[in-house]
Amino acid sequence: MSRETGESAERLRLTVSTHGKPVLEHASPLSFNLAHTGRWVGFALCRQGEVGIDIEPVDRCFDRRLYAQALNDSEQAAIEAAHDRALAFVICWTQKEAVLKALGEPMAYQPKRVYSTPHLGASRATYGAHTVHVMSWIELGCVISVASTRQPGAVRVTRLESCGSGYWMEHVRQEISEV
């Protein structure tokens, strides 16, 4: 973030919004978000607008309880019609979480109000009066969804692996194209 803001790392201060979203302490047009699952950490950065990211394993358990609580009728119908319902559920779930994180809303806050399309690639999701750009893809066994109120410039997904007393990182960079 230091490179993106032009500020030294020592001067950058992070805080959290009222709903727990990490933000830069001083007003900045730069928005970022983090997500993790297992040894994966995702970092999304957007110069204009707000951004959210979520990552889940492709083989995440298909939880019927979450299915009924989080998905609206149109999403449930799309998932029921999908060839791989478990994968469609994970795509939909990550899209919802990324959208709510981009808008600074907690996931517990009515996820059924996010209308997404459970497919990979570029799409749009709505939440109340908000229309949000969404990109979803599969990378190294995980579904990754990024949502932005505007187009994000780039997303970096990093896998941390234990290596003796330290860590090494494998970087995957995904450019987000115009929706």
CA distances to 34, 79, 109, 110, 154 from 62, in Å: 23, 11, 21, 20, 30
Position 5, amino acid: T
Average pLDDT over residues 139-154: 80
Structure tokens at 85: 């319902």
Residue spans of the domains in the chain: they are 2-175
**pLDDT (tens digit, 9 = 90+) per residue, 44-91?**
888 778 889 999 999 877 677 777 888 999 999 999 999 999 999 999
Q: Cα–Cα distance between 148 and 31 in angstroms, integer?
A: 9
What's domain 2-175's architecture?
Answer: Alpha-Beta Complex (3.90)
